[in-house]
Structure 1
Amino acid sequence: MRAFADLLERLVYTRSRNAKIKLIADYLIGTPDPDRGWALAALTGELDFRTVKAGLIKSLTEERVDPVLFKMSRSYVGDMAETVSLLWEPRPGAEPAPQDLRLSSVVDRLMALSRAEAPLQMSAYLDAMVPTERFALIKLATGALRIGVSARLAKTALAQAFALDLDAVEEVWHGIDAPYTALFAWGEGTAPQPSHEDIPVFRPFMLAHPLEDARVDLSQYAAEWKWDGVRVQLNHVNGETKLFSRTGDDVTASFPDVADAFQIHGVIDGELLVKGDAQGTADQGGEAASFNALQQRLGRKTVSKKMLTEAPAFVRAYDILFDGAEDLRALPWEERRRRLEAFVPRLPAERFDVSAIVEADDFDHLAKIREGARSAAIEGLMLKRRDSAYIAGRKVGQWYKWKRDPLTADCVIMYAQRGSGRRSSYFSDYTFGCWTEAGELVPVGKAYSGITDEELRFLDKFVRGNTTGRFGPVREVEKTLVLEVAFDSVHSSKRHKSGIAMRFPRIHRIRNDKPAAEADRVRTLEAMID
């Protein structure tokens, strides 16, 4: 357990990506099974202890520490695990944890806990451990690591530690359960590479670079719409279907209607959307609703019949990786496109179609088409080299994403909250609003990205010097500062007082030159609704 705690502490204080990879790789090489496997599962978000959640840790801490002190400390530190690990008051006479306490022993115990046993066991662990171990325990048990390590980075460290191909690791990952003894045996050369030809496993996606200011030759590149949904991979083999997100997460349970309809042996890549009344292109209009309509189904482990009826999902296919058992990824895009157009019509039409090719006379004509596409379900265009193989990751010159220019609005900052991690001592999360016709300022969005460190310091100083009210961790400020906010689209929303919701809002610039009374009205945003 101490080795795992040391690893997490060093990762927290390490900024360099390569240094983090080396720390994880060294740990995986020097740690025995099954401890290293459970550590890898924690780093990749594969562990879920149902009886230990953040609320339990909070309630246990408030029994040992003054609740007001805990609340203030949590607000300042910005991380619950770090706050609790430092504030926790062990019971008198508590025995320290043995030096040889294994991570695997802790994992086994947490997995076996009932809800009734969880408070007593977690208190006992926290009493016995030193602060670094408490921090690691809480991160492990709640699954909220947030230490600057993505699942992809952890897998990269595994690949580098044992000189494995990262794409090969990705392909076998979902067919092996933690603590991944077969994976480590393969890495150490004591067993062959695991094979999963008879089960649906994740294949890494091919990704695109932003086009930015470049131009491409349309004789070499094909254009198709970039739909605003969730990129998914569908894999059916041996009577079983799986849906994977771009990060390799299994999202099958959230979309059983799509999984049940994909019953042909093969693997396709596409955009998961829900049907609605939103207008699309001339070729594919009126079927794909905005991302807001899709959001209600994301992350659900069970989906009600009402939701299946009100928000029916479908997939707009982009590419095909396998046709039956035949691997098509090495073929050029044009050939894969032909195979895709032959494959999809064999699937139920109400659940699957093919993303249309956008025809244009030249690049300037394509640019006009892109700017004219303001459908709720369209983000922009994808440009794909006609001879490109389906290669995992981002490869220069192969695929480009060309998003439409963002919309902007001038909004007044209303509330602020401290950030987390590096920004935990700054007020860096801002709620902003626009004016109603009655002259009331109502919230229209919240953002924390898009600003420089200098702008962050300016906004933090403004919040501290202009606070008019406090609501827990939230501060209300004088309604005097205008922010120009950029966003991808705006949609109707019954959940917000303003009646609208922004998609991907971010701060574009601070408008010191503009009086708050001249900020935009809600009706201006309503006019942008597709």
Structure 2
Amino acid sequence: MQQFADLLDGLVFMPSRTGKLRLIAHYLETAPDPDRGYGLAALTGDLDLGPAKPGAIRALAEARCDPTLFYLSYDYVGDLAETLALMWRPPPGVNAAPPPLPEVVDTLMAAPRTRTPELLAGWLDRLDATGRWALLKLITGGLRVGVSARLARTAFAQWAGLDLHDVEEAWPCVRPPYAPLFTWAAGGEKPALADVAGFRPFMLANPLEETDVRQLDPAAYAVEWKWDGIRVQVVGRAGDRRIYARSGDDITHSFPDVAAAIDFDGALDGELLVRDADGAPAPFNHLQQRLNRKTVSAALLRKYPAFVRAYDLLQAGEEDLRPHPFAERRRRLEAFLARPRERFDLSPLLPLTAWDDLGRLREEARERRMEGLMLKRWDSVYVPGRPKGPWFKWKRDPLTVDAVLLYAQRGHGKRSSYYSDYTFGVWRGDELVPVGKAYFGFTDEDLRQLDKWIRANTTDRFGPVRQVKPGLVFEVAFDSIHPSPRHKSGLAMRFPRISRIRWDKPHTEADRLETLATLVEAGGGA
């Protein structure tokens, strides 16, 4: 456990991607089995321990610490695990060795949830502050150390000297602590796909600049809408049915209605969407109600029925179609979907004879609630990664609004000492109402200046959140805006990010809610 804790501690303070890869590789090289497998699974999100609720952690803190001192410290530190790790004091006489990581994992997976607080207290007594912090992060399911699942898989591939795309294909075939993967890394056989509906790494598109458009031959490209959902891969093999996100994460559990309709052996690449009452693709915020859920209620299944709009066929039975050109794969896809299939339909191609057609279509994207356009060379084979030239995405321009900072919350990891998560609002009459939240789009120097301004202009505190007096304006860029009953304003932005800090602009001149409402009416509610 201590070696895993040292890894997390190193990762959270390591700013560079290369440095993170090096730290993970060192852990894989030096940690014993099955520790390194469980540690890798924690980084990829494959380790399901039935995470403890924050309320249970707070109750444990209140039992061992002075509650007033704990909550004052929590308000200052801004991180529950870090606060408890620093304040925890073992009872006199405890001198046991730190628990090995497999002991923690195996015990938690076998024990009833009601025993978690008791087990956790015993382990906290045996660890130092860093070990306690790592244990709490592990057991609450919130590592937040700046490592995505794909970065962890990349680290394993580089350490093992294996091709990343081969590793990503094999990953769904194994389970923590990944013994077959480490056997493969030591020179053994690649884990067999067998009857597992395995993952195929996605082919990605490059952004297209307007100045580059006329350098391309319009006859060489197929054009489709860039649908406003999430890209998925739907795979069926020998009765095994899976849905993969672009990251390679298995999201089948969130979409059982789509999984139940996989009655074929093959692999489709497409866009996961939700239907509205008329059967058309609904705005993205409808799909958002279904994302990141371990279980989906019958009410959600009825209200937000999911489907996949397919735009590529990667596998048909035993035949791998990826080496074929897109024109052939498209022909096979059209034949595959020639008969109606529940939860699956075909992404139509758009007419293109000249680049003027493309510009016109892009201008229509927002009105049609599309993200933009996709261009795919008819002769392109399907290869993993983002090769230059075969595929392009031409997204619509973002919307912007001037909004006033209302609340600031401490960040996580290396940002835990800074107020880096910002809630902002616009004017409704003479009242500011929140419309979104952003935590990126600014430099480290900007962050230091913002943090200083927030501390100097705080009017109230709510745990790790500070309310500030109106005065600071952000130019916020966002992709779309849609109705939201969860916000006091009745509206919420999609993908908001800080475009500029308007130190120069009076907050009284920020935008009004009526302005944002017109963007919804104009089709900004995608």
The Cα of 1:260 is off from its aligned counterpart by 1.8
- Alignment counterpart, residue 202 of structure 2, candidates 165, 183, 205: 205
The aligned residue for residue 330 of structure 1 is 323
Q: How is 1:42-191 mapped onto 2 (pairs within 5 angstroms)?
A: 42-50=42-50, 52-97=52-97, 101-189=99-187, 191=188
Matched, 1:458 2:449: yes
Secondary structure, counterpart of 1:201 in structure 2: coil
In structure 1, how many angstroms separate the alpha carbons of the residues matched to 2:339 and 2:28?
A: 45
Secondary structure, counterpart of 1:32 in structure 2: coil
Moved more, 106-115 or 37-46: 106-115
Structure 1 residues 519 and 52, CA gap change in structure 2 (3 angstroms) = closer
Secondary structure, counterpart of 1:91 in structure 2: coil
The Cα of 1:147 is off from its aligned counterpart by 1.2
Task: In structure 1, list runs of 5 or more residues that go unmatched.
Answer: 279-285
- The answer as to whether partners of 2:437 and 2:496 remain within 8 angstroms in 1 is yes
In structure 2, how many angstroms separate the alpha carbons of the residues matched to 1:103 and 1:192?
A: 27
Structure 1 residues 301 and 139, CA gap change in structure 2 (3 angstroms) = closer
2:402 partner amino acid: D
The aligned residue for residue 527 of structure 1 is 518
The Cα of 1:136 is off from its aligned counterpart by 2.3
2:142 partner amino acid: A
In structure 2, how many angstroms separate the alpha carbons of the residues matched to 1:391 and 1:15?
A: 30
Q: How is 1:470-509 mapped onto 2 (pairs within 5 angstroms)?
A: 470-509=461-500
Structure 1 residues 46 and 127, CA gap change in structure 2 (3 angstroms) = same
The Cα of 1:179 is off from its aligned counterpart by 1.0
The aligned residue for residue 361 of structure 1 is 353
The Cα of 1:313 is off from its aligned counterpart by 1.2
Matched, 1:405 2:397: yes
- The answer as to whether partners of 1:289 and 1:377 remain within 8 angstroms in 2 is no
In structure 2, how many angstroms separate the alpha carbons of the residues matched to 1:6 and 1:482?
A: 40
- TM-score (normalised: structure 2): 0.93
Structure 1 residues 11 and 387, CA gap change in structure 2 (3 angstroms) = same
Structure 1 residues 72 and 362, CA gap change in structure 2 (3 angstroms) = farther
Secondary structure, counterpart of 2:301 in structure 1: helix
- The answer as to whether partners of 1:78 and 1:424 remain within 8 angstroms in 2 is yes
The aligned residue for residue 432 of structure 2 is 441
In structure 1, how many angstroms separate the alpha carbons of the residues matched to 2:161 and 2:125?
A: 40
Structure 1 residues 37 and 491, CA gap change in structure 2 (3 angstroms) = same
Structure 1 residues 23 and 508, CA gap change in structure 2 (3 angstroms) = closer
2:336 partner amino acid: F
In structure 2, how many angstroms separate the alpha carbons of the residues matched to 1:375 and 1:265?
A: 37
Identity of counterpart residues, as a percentage?
58
- The answer as to whether partners of 1:482 and 1:514 remain within 8 angstroms in 2 is yes
Structure 1 residues 10 and 430, CA gap change in structure 2 (3 angstroms) = closer
How many residues were matched structurally?
Answer: 518
The Cα of 1:405 is off from its aligned counterpart by 0.3
The Cα of 1:355 is off from its aligned counterpart by 1.4
The Cα of 1:376 is off from its aligned counterpart by 6.5
In structure 2, how many angstroms separate the alpha carbons of the residues matched to 1:417 and 1:124?
A: 32
The Cα of 1:375 is off from its aligned counterpart by 4.2
Task: In structure 2, list runs of 5 or more residues that go unmatched.
Answer: none
- The answer as to whether partners of 1:481 and 1:516 remain within 8 angstroms in 2 is yes
The aligned residue for residue 343 of structure 1 is 336
- The answer as to whether partners of 2:326 and 2:380 remain within 8 angstroms in 1 is yes
In structure 2, how many angstroms separate the alpha carbons of the residues matched to 1:65 and 1:209?
A: 53
2:67 partner amino acid: P
2:335 partner amino acid: A
The CA RMSD measured in Å over matched residues stands at 2.1
In structure 2, how many angstroms separate the alpha carbons of the residues matched to 1:417 and 1:30?
A: 38
In structure 2, how many angstroms separate the alpha carbons of the residues matched to 1:363 and 1:68?
A: 66
- The answer as to whether partners of 1:51 and 1:113 remain within 8 angstroms in 2 is no
- The answer as to whether partners of 1:270 and 1:318 remain within 8 angstroms in 2 is yes
Secondary structure, counterpart of 1:47 in structure 2: coil
The Cα of 1:207 is off from its aligned counterpart by 1.6
- The answer as to whether partners of 1:162 and 1:187 remain within 8 angstroms in 2 is yes
- Alignment counterpart, residue 194 of structure 1, candidates 191, 194, 201: 191
2:412 partner amino acid: S
In structure 2, how many angstroms separate the alpha carbons of the residues matched to 1:453 and 1:17?
A: 17
In structure 2, how many angstroms separate the alpha carbons of the residues matched to 1:320 and 1:83?
A: 50
- TM-score (normalised: structure 1): 0.92
The Cα of 1:236 is off from its aligned counterpart by 1.0
The Cα of 1:42 is off from its aligned counterpart by 1.1
In structure 2, how many angstroms separate the alpha carbons of the residues matched to 1:29 and 1:457?
A: 37
Secondary structure, counterpart of 1:392 in structure 2: coil
After superposition, the C-alpha distances for 1:78-103 in whole angstroms (9 at most, x for unaligned) are: 433333222211111112325xx432
1:21 partner amino acid: L
Matched, 1:37 2:34: no
After superposition, the C-alpha distances for 1:279-328 in whole angstroms (9 at most, x for unaligned) are: xxxxxxx7111111111112233333332222111111121110111001
The aligned residue for residue 311 of structure 2 is 318
Secondary structure, counterpart of 2:218 in structure 1: coil
Secondary structure, counterpart of 2:153 in structure 1: helix
Moved more, 76-85 or 320-329: 76-85
The Cα of 1:377 is off from its aligned counterpart by 4.1
The Cα of 1:488 is off from its aligned counterpart by 0.5
- The answer as to whether partners of 1:467 and 1:478 remain within 8 angstroms in 2 is yes
In structure 1, how many angstroms separate the alpha carbons of the residues matched to 2:244 and 2:468?
A: 43
After superposition, the C-alpha distances for 1:108-131 in whole angstroms (9 at most, x for unaligned) are: 122222233221221111111112
In structure 2, how many angstroms separate the alpha carbons of the residues matched to 1:13 and 1:453?
A: 15
Moved more, 106-115 or 481-490: 106-115
In structure 2, how many angstroms separate the alpha carbons of the residues matched to 1:371 and 1:83?
A: 51
1:157 partner amino acid: A
The Cα of 1:267 is off from its aligned counterpart by 0.3
Secondary structure, counterpart of 2:173 in structure 1: coil
- The answer as to whether partners of 1:445 and 1:505 remain within 8 angstroms in 2 is yes
Secondary structure, counterpart of 2:57 in structure 1: helix
The aligned residue for residue 374 of structure 1 is 366
Secondary structure, counterpart of 1:174 in structure 2: helix
The Cα of 1:374 is off from its aligned counterpart by 1.2
In structure 2, how many angstroms separate the alpha carbons of the residues matched to 1:131 and 1:376?
A: 54
Q: How is 1:280-299 mapped onto 2 (pairs within 5 angstroms)?
A: 287-299=280-292
In structure 1, how many angstroms separate the alpha carbons of the residues matched to 2:391 and 2:166?
A: 22
After superposition, the C-alpha distances for 1:414-460 in whole angstroms (9 at most, x for unaligned) are: 22222222222222222111222x43221111112212233323322
The aligned residue for residue 388 of structure 1 is 380
The Cα of 1:51 is off from its aligned counterpart by 5.9
Secondary structure, counterpart of 1:219 in structure 2: helix
The Cα of 1:73 is off from its aligned counterpart by 3.1
2:427 partner amino acid: W
Moved more, 173-182 or 354-363: 354-363
- The answer as to whether partners of 2:195 and 2:240 remain within 8 angstroms in 1 is no
In structure 2, how many angstroms separate the alpha carbons of the residues matched to 1:369 and 1:277?
A: 26
In structure 2, how many angstroms separate the alpha carbons of the residues matched to 1:277 and 1:519?
A: 36
The aligned residue for residue 220 of structure 1 is 220
Moved more, 59-68 or 256-265: 59-68
Structure 1 residues 217 and 68, CA gap change in structure 2 (3 angstroms) = farther
